């Protein structure tokens, strides 16, 4: 989608995989209990200079839902990060820290997780958070209360037990040593039914108003449990129509910060700080594996061989990106398989050979559907059109608005190919790989592989961490061997901040944490 899931969307291993050699272009060949009660670190020492006030952040997408269980896009989740919290939450270093929960323990067999609710924590409507609220939230998200599963990551839950007024136990259908990251799922008030119009959580900011196509406004939560946060009194997300409108508002002073593309960064001028970090999403040419000719692995490999990620990185992103040959972000270093980065280096002759073997000696025509509001994806598609032409493939670009992309491509899967960046919702390899399971609801590229499914499920059930890491890497090798899609890069995420503001905090996930930003005196 957009830069995440999307900028993105929002969010996807066996025994050793036998990799097929493809000449110059092709794929190369804990059981103990744990406990934590650490509190999140506070903002920098400079925070004593915070003076409240308002901060306006420009965004080029519209929220798809305000209900945290329904939000699909990364940009929406980045906003909701400020309103909602789970039992645990990520910090800026990628660690999981207690949030709604004060502490937690995992059973030795990893079939249950016990959480102790933070004393004194309350929702933004002033009501205290109870064990009933926690059970309601998790039951709703996991579909345990009779409805459908709203948060796919929680499908492994069997039940939520209220042990006492401040203690809940999450029981799983089977052992899972990596389930904790999924308990970042939002905790909401029991029985509250207006989340999509007036969201209520426990985060540092509370909802004030939303005007579609214009703005979404948050105000300081005065009763936030972390007493030195947030710094600002109000945060407005100004919803821009395109990058030109965003640039004009930055230069004109009506916007104080934004996530921007390289072509915008070069025009900003003085008075701004430029902060570079990874986008924590992988840009790819998504291929619809159920549509001809992409139902043929040789065609998918041919397309992979026809493209040059290094050229795209150089021309579109001015070198500000990290090349990736897998859907797992490079920042997830333990799991990211960097041996796949050059599994498909450009080889036009090999691409033509593979197309001929697949029955397309004269090539074929294809349409690349791209959300028009993301210049980086449109520009990437333009480079791809030129490179594919050299291999005999005639590609055209079909630009659509993001809402149309979301419904037509991501939901209905009515497309041939698309350029988008896909993120993960949690700091887990499963958040990036799970979408490739044959029956995954978010498997929008329609990839199906019993081999991948088997390895992935082995990884899920493997108690030994080193073996689990190896299995997740085998899963990535299978995706590479099958050329499930063409993985290009983790694009640098460029953020600008007006000079009078400080405290911007990059995360290893695609989130925007407004709580640490302040206006210096």
230 upstream amide cis, omega within 30 of 0: yes
At residue 493, the pLDDT reads 84
Q: Burial level of 40, CB count in 10 A (0-12/13-18/19+)?
A: middle
Q: Which long-range contacts (CB under 8 A, 24 or more apart) does 384-387 make?
A: 384/285, 384/307, 384/312, 384/419, 387/306, 387/307, 387/308, 387/311, 387/346
Residue 160 near residue 93, CB atoms below 8 Å: no
CA–CA gap between residue 489 and residue 341 (Å, rounded) = 9
* Mean pLDDT to the nearest integer, 12-40: 37
- What are the backbone angles phi and psi of residue 447, rounded to the nearest 5°? -80, 135
Q: According to the per-residue pLDDT averaged within each range, which of 266-270, 389-393, 505-509 is highest?
A: 389-393
Q: And the tokens for 110?
A: 């990893």
Residue with tokens 């291929």: 287
Q: And the tokens for 102?
A: 């004060």
Query: The domain at 4-16+280-492 falls in which architecture?
Result: Roll (3.10)
Q: Is the confidence at residue 519, as pLDDT, over 70?
A: yes
CB atoms within 10 A of CB 91: 17
* Mean pLDDT to the nearest integer, 30-42: 39
At residue 426, the pLDDT reads 82
Q: Which of 280, 260, 250 is nearest to 501 (CA)?
A: 250
Q: And the tokens for 300?
A: 């998918």
Q: Is the confidence at residue 43, as pLDDT, over 60?
A: no
CB atoms within 10 A of CB 114: 18
**Residues 392-438: tens digit of each pLDDT:** 999 999 999 999 999 999 999 999 999 999 988 888 899 999 999 99
**Residues 451-497: tens digit of each pLDDT:** 999 999 999 889 898 999 999 999 999 999 999 999 999 998 889 99
**Residues 64-92: tens digit of each pLDDT:** 999 999 998 888 999 999 999 999 998 88
CA–CA gap between residue 245 and residue 241 (Å, rounded) = 6
At residue 22, the pLDDT reads 34
Residue 409 near residue 337, CB atoms below 8 Å: no
Residue 327 near residue 422, CB atoms below 8 Å: yes
CA–CA gap between residue 60 and residue 58 (Å, rounded) = 7
Q: Residue 153: CA atoms inside 13 Å, Cβ hemisphere, count?
A: 24
**Residues 213-246: tens digit of each pLDDT:** 999 999 999 999 998 999 999 999 999 988 889 9
% of the chain exceeding 90 in pLDDT: 71
84-201, superfamily in CATH? Dipeptide-binding Protein; Domain 1 (3.90.76.10)
CA–CA gap between residue 282 and residue 326 (Å, rounded) = 8
The band of 511, judged by pLDDT with boundaries at 50, 70 and 90, is confident
Q: Is the confidence at residue 4, as pLDDT, over 50?
A: no
At residue 129, the pLDDT reads 98
Q: And the tokens for 239?
A: 């919803």
Domain 4-16+280-492 and domain 84-201 have a common topology: no
CA distances from 461 to 31, 35, 109, 452 (A): 12, 21, 11, 14
Residue 14 near residue 193, CB atoms below 8 Å: no
Residue 59 near residue 75, CB atoms below 8 Å: yes
List the chain domain ranges: 4-16+280-492, 84-201
Q: Name the H helices within 220-308.
A: 243-252, 262-265, 297-306
* Mean pLDDT to the nearest integer, 106-131: 96
At residue 26, the pLDDT reads 55
Indicate the DSSP class of residue 284: E
Residue with tokens 């139902």: 295
At residue 460, the pLDDT reads 87
Which run of H or E residues covers position 388? helix 375-390
Q: And the tokens for 55?
A: 């901060």
Q: Is the confidence at residue 254, as pLDDT, over 50?
A: yes
- What are the backbone angles phi and psi of residue 146, rounded to the nearest 5°? 105, -15
CA–CA gap between residue 118 and residue 47 (Å, rounded) = 24
Q: Is the confidence at residue 131, as pLDDT, over 60?
A: yes
């Amino acid at each position: 989608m957009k830069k995440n899931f999307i900028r993105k969307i929002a969010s996807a291993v066996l025994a050793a995989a036998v990799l097929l050699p493809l000449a110059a272009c092709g794929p190369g060949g804990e059981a103990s209990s744990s406990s934590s009660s650490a509190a999140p670190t506070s903002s920098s020492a400079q925070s004593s200079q915070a003076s409240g006030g308002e901060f306006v952040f420009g965004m080029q997408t519209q929220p798809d839902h305000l209900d945290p269980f329904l939000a699909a896009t990364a940009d929406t989740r980045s906003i909701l990060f400020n309103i909602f919290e789970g039992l645990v939450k990520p910090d800026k270093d990628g660690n999981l820290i207690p949030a709604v929960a004060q502490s937690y323990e995992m059973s030795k067999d990893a079939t249950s997780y016990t959480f102790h609710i933070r004393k004194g924590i309350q929702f933004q409507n002033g009501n205290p958070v109870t064990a009933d609220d926690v059970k309601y939230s998790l039951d709703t998200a996991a579909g345990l209360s009779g409805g459908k599963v709203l948060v796919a990551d929680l499908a492994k839950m069997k039940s939520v037990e209220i042990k006492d007024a401040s203690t809940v136990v999450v029981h799983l259908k089977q052992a899972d040593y990596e389930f904790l990251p999924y308990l970042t799922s939002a905790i909401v008030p029991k029985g509250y039914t207006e989340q999509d119009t007036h969201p209520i959580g426990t985060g540092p900011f509370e909802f004030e108003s939303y005007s579609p196509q214009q703005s979404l406004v948050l105000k300081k939560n005065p009763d936030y449990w972390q007493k030195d946060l947030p710094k600002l009194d109000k945060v407005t997300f100004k919803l821009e129509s395109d990058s030109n409108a965003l640039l004009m508002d930055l230069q004109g002073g009506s916007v104080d910060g934004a996530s921007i593309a390289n072509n915008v960064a070069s025009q900003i001028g003085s008075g701004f700080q430029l902060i570079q970090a990874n986008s924590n999403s992988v840009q790819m040419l998504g291929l619809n594996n159920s549509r001809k000719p992409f139902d043929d692995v040789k065609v998918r490999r041919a397309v992979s061989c026809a493209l040059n990620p290094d050229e795209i990185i150089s021309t579109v992103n001015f070198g500000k990106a990290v090349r990736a040959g897998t859907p797992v972000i490079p920042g997830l270093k333990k799991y990211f398989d960097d041996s796949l980065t050059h599994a498909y280096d450009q080889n036009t002759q090999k691409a033509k050979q593979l197309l001929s073997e697949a029955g397309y000696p004269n090539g074929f025509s294809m349409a690349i559907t791209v959300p028009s509001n993301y210049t980086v994806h449109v520009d990437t598609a333009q480079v791809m059109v030129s490179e594919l032409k050299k291999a005999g493939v005639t590609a055209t670009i079909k630009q659509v608005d993001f809402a149309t992309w979301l419904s037509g491509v991501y939901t209905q899967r009515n497309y041939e190919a698309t350029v988008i960046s896909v993120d993960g919702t949690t700091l887990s390899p499963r958040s990036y790989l799970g979408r490739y399971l044959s029956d995954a609801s978010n498997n929008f590229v329609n990839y199906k592989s019993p081999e991948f499914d088997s390895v992935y499920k082995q990884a899920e059930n493997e108690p030994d961490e080193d073996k689990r890491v190896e299995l997740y890497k085998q899963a990535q090798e299978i995706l590479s061997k099958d050329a499930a899609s063409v993985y290009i890069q983790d694009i640098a995420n460029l953020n600008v901040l007006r000079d009078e503001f400080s405290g911007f905090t990059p995360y290893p996930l695609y989130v925007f944490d407004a709580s640490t930003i302040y206006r210096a005196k």
